[in-house]
C-alpha cells in the first residue's frame, strides 16, 4: 500500500452545480478527534445529527446533517464523516475549506481526494473487489435502464461470483496436476480417475457462458457507433431524426445542407447506439463542404457499422448509380475488415408502385424504408441490434468492460491449450500446469486478487472526485 493511502482525504461528493442537497465526505483513520474539533462534541455512530456548520469565527456556514461511520463499517472501510448541506457550490466549497482548516491541528495530512480515491480505498480495504468497484462507475455513467440494472447486478457481486466459480474450478484442476507431478509414476491413471478432462470440458462450457454474458454486458455499457453515409439529399438527416424521434438535424431539399456531423445516442431495447449523420459524399468545390466530407470519411472509418443510404426515387438515374458505385468502392477500400454495411433504400413512400431493387454489386444487406413515414424503421432497428450482437433472450447480464472481455479471451486461450495438452497420449504435465496457472492469473486480473498499480491507477482515475 502506498503512503498516500494512509492520508485522510476529503472531497465534495456530489455533482458540480446547484442542487437541493450537497455532500462533503471525509475518510481516514481515527477521525474522532477531528469530529470533536469540528463540532465540539462526538457523534453517535450511524445516526443523523442535525447541526450547525460554523466557520472559524463561529459564524454559520449552513445547517445540515452529519453522519459518522466508524471503521470498518463504512464505504471505504475507514472512518468516514459525511456532511450534508444545501447543494449550492459556494456553500460546499466553504464547508470543504473549513474541514481543511480544522484538520491543520486535529487531522494532520488531510488532503483533497483524487478521482476515484474513495472507491479505491474501498477496494484496498476489501469492501469491494475490482469488478464491483468498476461497476460503481458504470452505474453512475449508465445511459440506459438496462445498463443501470446490469451494473447493479455486477455491483451486487453477480459477475464476481461467476469469476470466483471459474477460479475455483481452475484451482482444483491445478491441484490435481501439481499433485500428479509429485507422483509421476501414477500420472495418467490419477488424472483419468479424477476425471480431469471432464472437469476441463465443464470449465470450458461455463467459461463460454460467462464470456457470452460479458459480451452482452459490454454492449450495454458501450453500445456501437453507427454512421449514416450516402450522397446528398438521400435522406440521411431525416433518417437520424426518425431514429432519434426528434428534429436534431436540419432537413431541406438543398443538396449539401449538412456540412458537419450531427450525433445522437439512442437506445434500442436498452442497447445504446451512437448514430452519426454526415455530410453528403460527392465532389465539391465548396471549401466548407469539402471539410465536412473529409470529416464524414473519418467518422465512417471509425464506425462499428455503416448505413449506406440510397434514394429509391433516383435508382434508375445513371449518374446517381455511378456515384453510388464510387462511394461503395471507396467504402470497401477504407473500411476496416469486418465492419458491416447495410444498403438502406430510402423514400419508399415516394417511389410510386413498389418495384424490385436493381441488382447490387455487393453482398450488403438491402433494406427499404421511409424516413418520412417510418415504414421499415422497425426492421432497421432490429437489424442494428443483430449487427451489434445483442441477444434478446439474454438473462442475468452483468456489466462488463473491454478489459474483462480481453481477460476472458486470454483465459479461454490458455484453457484451450491445456485441453489440447491433456488429450495427448503422454501429456507434458509441467506445461499443462503452466497453462492452468496462466489462466488463473488472467482470471484474477478481473476481480483484482492481484494486479499492477498502474492498472489500478488507470481504472480509478476515470471516477469522479468524491467517489
**C-alpha span between 461 and 449 (Å, rounded):** 19
- Write the CA distances from 369 to 13, 54, 243, 374, 379, integer angstroms: 48, 65, 12, 7, 9
338 known ligand binder: no
Asked if residue 103 lies in contact with residue 421, where contact means CB atoms within 8 angstroms, the answer is no
25 known ligand binder: yes
280 known ligand binder: yes
238 known ligand binder: yes
236 known ligand binder: yes
452 known ligand binder: no
Computed over every residue of the chain, the mean pLDDT equals 86
252 known ligand binder: yes
- What is the 3-state composition of the chain as percent helix, strand, coil, each rounded to the nearest 5? 50, 15, 35
Nearest to 166 by CA among 452, 423, 393, 436: 436
Residue ranges of the domains in the chain? 3-128, 135-219+401-448, 223-388
235 known ligand binder: yes
Options 3.40.718.10, 3.30.565.10, 3.40.50.300, 1.10.357.10; which CATH number does 223-388 get? 3.40.50.300
Helix (H) or strand (E) holding 275: strand 271-277
What pLDDT digit, counting tens, does each position of 403-452 carry? Answer: 999 999 999 999 999 999 988 887 788 899 899 999 999 999 999 875 44
**C-alpha span between 406 and 276 (Å, rounded):** 27
φ, ψ of residue 110 in degrees (nearest 5): -60, 130
Sheet containing 111-112, strands listed edge to edge, beginning at the edge strand earlier in sequence:
49-54, 60-69, 79-87, 19-28, 9-12, 111-112
278 known ligand binder: yes
What pLDDT digit, counting tens, does each position of 111-123 carry? Answer: 999 999 999 999 9
What pLDDT digit, counting tens, does each position of 200-233 carry? Answer: 999 999 999 999 889 888 888 888 899 999 998 8
**C-alpha span between 441 and 174 (Å, rounded):** 12
**Partners of residue 23 on adjacent β-strands:** 84
User: Could you give the percent of the chain with pLDDT greater than 90?
Assistant: 51
The 3-state DSSP class for residue 316 equals coil
Pairwise pLDDT comparison (354 vs 336), residue with the higher score: 336
Identify the residue whose cell numbers are 476425471.
195
Model pLDDT, residue 64: 96
447 known ligand binder: no
269 known ligand binder: no
Eight-state DSSP code of residue 373: T
- Write the CA distances from 346 to 130, 169, 236, 378, integer angstroms: 47, 53, 9, 14
Domains 135-219+401-448 and 223-388 share a fold: no
Model pLDDT, residue 28: 96
**C-alpha span between 130 and 460 (Å, rounded):** 10
Asked if residue 119 lies in contact with residue 136, where contact means CB atoms within 8 angstroms, the answer is yes
Model pLDDT, residue 160: 94
Asked if residue 229 lies in contact with residue 281, where contact means CB atoms within 8 angstroms, the answer is yes
Peptide bond into 72 cis (omega under 30): yes
Say whether pLDDT at 394 is over 70.
Answer: no
103 known ligand binder: no
What pLDDT digit, counting tens, does each position of 49-103 carry? Answer: 999 999 999 999 999 999 999 999 999 999 999 999 999 999 999 999 999 999 9
Model pLDDT, residue 5: 86
150 known ligand binder: no
Model confidence at 174, pLDDT cuts 50, 70, 90, reads confident
This prediction has a pTM of: 0.76
Asked if residue 467 lies in contact with residue 140, where contact means CB atoms within 8 angstroms, the answer is yes
Model pLDDT, residue 461: 65
290 known ligand binder: no
Say whether pLDDT at 285 is over 90.
Answer: no
Say whether pLDDT at 47 is over 60.
Answer: yes
Pairwise pLDDT comparison (252 vs 295), residue with the higher score: 295
**C-alpha span between 417 and 425 (Å, rounded):** 15
**C-alpha span between 7 and 120 (Å, rounded):** 13
- Write the CA distances from 244 to 34, 317, 327, 380, 420, integer angstroms: 52, 30, 26, 13, 50
237 known ligand binder: yes
**Fold classification of 3-128 (topology level):** Gyrase A; domain 2 (3.30.1360)
Total H helices, total E strands in the chain: 15, 12
11 known ligand binder: no
Task: For 138-255, list the strands marked E by DSSP.
Answer: 224-230
How does 367-397 read in b/e, with b if 16+ C-beta sit within 10 Å? bbbbbbeeebbeebbebbbebbebeeeeeeb
119 known ligand binder: no
Nearest to 70 by CA among 26, 129, 23, 104: 26
CATH of domain 135-219+401-448: 1.20.120.430
Amino acid at each position: 500500500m502506498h503512503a498516500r493511502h494512509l492520508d485522510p482525504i476529503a472531497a465534495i461528493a456530489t455533482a458540480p452545480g446547484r442542487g437541493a442537497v450537497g455532500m462533503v465526505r471525509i475518510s481516514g483513520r481515527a477521525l474522532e478527534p477531528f469530529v470533536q474539533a469540528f463540532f465540539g462534541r462526538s457523534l453517535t455512530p450511524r445516526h443523523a445529527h442535525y447541526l450547525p456548520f460554523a466557520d472559524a469565527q463561529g459564524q454559520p456556514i449552513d445547517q445540515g446533517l452529519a453522519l459518522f461511520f466508524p471503521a470498518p463499517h463504512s464505504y471505504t472501510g475507514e472512518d468516514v464523516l459525511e456532511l450534508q448541506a444545501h447543494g449550492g457550490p459556494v456553500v460546499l466549497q466553504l464547508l470543504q475549506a473549513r474541514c481543511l482548516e480544522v484538520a491543520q491541528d486535529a487531522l494532520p495530512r488531510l488532503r483533497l481526494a483524487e478521482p476515484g480515491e474513495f472507491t479505491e480505498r474501498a477496494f484496498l480495504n476489501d469492501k469491494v473487489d475490482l469488478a464491483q468497484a468498476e461497476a460503481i462507475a458504470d452505474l453512475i455513467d449508465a445511459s440506459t435502464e438496462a445498463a443501470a440494472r446490469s451494473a447493479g447486478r455486477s455491483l451486487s457481486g453477480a459477475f464476481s461470483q461467476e469469476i470466483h466459480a471459474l477460479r475455483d474450478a481452475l484451482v482444483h484442476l491445478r491441484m490435481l496436476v501439481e499433485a500428479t507431478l509429485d507422483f509421476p509414476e501414477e500420472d495418467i491413471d490419477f488424472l483419468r480417475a479424477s476425471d480431469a478432462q471432464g472437469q476441463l470440458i465443464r470449465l470450458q462450457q461455463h467459461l463460454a457462458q460467462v464470456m457470452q454474458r460479458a459480451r452482452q454486458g459490454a454492449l450495454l455499457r458501450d453500445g456501437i457507433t453507427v454512421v449514416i453515409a450516402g450522397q446528398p439529399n438521400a435522406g440521411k438527416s431525416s433518417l437520424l431524426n426518425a431514429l432519434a424521434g426528434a428534429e436534431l438535424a436540419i432537413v431541406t431539399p438543398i443538396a449539401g445542407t449538412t456540412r458537419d456531423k450531427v450525433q445522437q445516442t439512442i437506445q434500442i431495447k436498452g442497447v445504446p447506439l451512437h448514430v452519426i449523420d454526415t455530410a453528403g459524399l460527392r465532389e465539391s468545390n465548396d471549401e466548407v463542404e469539402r471539410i465536412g466530407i473529409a470529416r464524414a470519411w473519418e467518422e465512417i472509418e471509425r464506425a462499428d457499422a455503416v448505413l449506406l443510404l440510397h434514394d429509391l426515387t433516383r435508382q434508375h438515374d445513371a449518374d446517381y448509380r455511378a456515384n453510388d458505385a464510387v462511394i461503395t468502392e471507396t467504402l470497401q477500400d477504407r473500411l476496416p475488415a469486418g465492419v458491416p454495411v447495410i444498403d438502406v433504400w430510402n423514400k419508399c413512400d415516394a417511389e410510386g408502385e413498389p418495384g424490385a431493387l436493381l441488382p447490387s454489386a455487393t453482398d450488403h444487406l438491402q433494406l427499404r424504408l421511409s424516413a418520412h413515414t417510418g415504414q421499415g424503421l422497425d426492421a432497421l432497428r432490429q437489424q442494428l441490434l443483430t449487427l451489434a450482437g445483442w441477444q434478446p433472450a439474454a438473462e442475468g447480464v452483468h456489466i462488463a468492460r473491454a478489459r474483462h472481455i480481453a481477460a476472458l479471451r486470454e483465459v479461454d486461450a490458455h484453457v484451450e491449450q491445456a485441453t489440447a495438452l491433456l488429450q495427448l497420449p503422454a501429456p507434458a504435465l509441467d506445461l499443462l500446469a503452466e497453462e492452468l496457472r496462466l489462466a488463473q492469473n488472467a482470471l484474477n486480473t478481473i476481480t483484482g486478487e492481484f494486479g499492477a498499480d498502474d492498472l489500478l491507477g488507470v481504472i480509478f482515475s476515470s471516477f469522479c472526485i468524491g467517489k
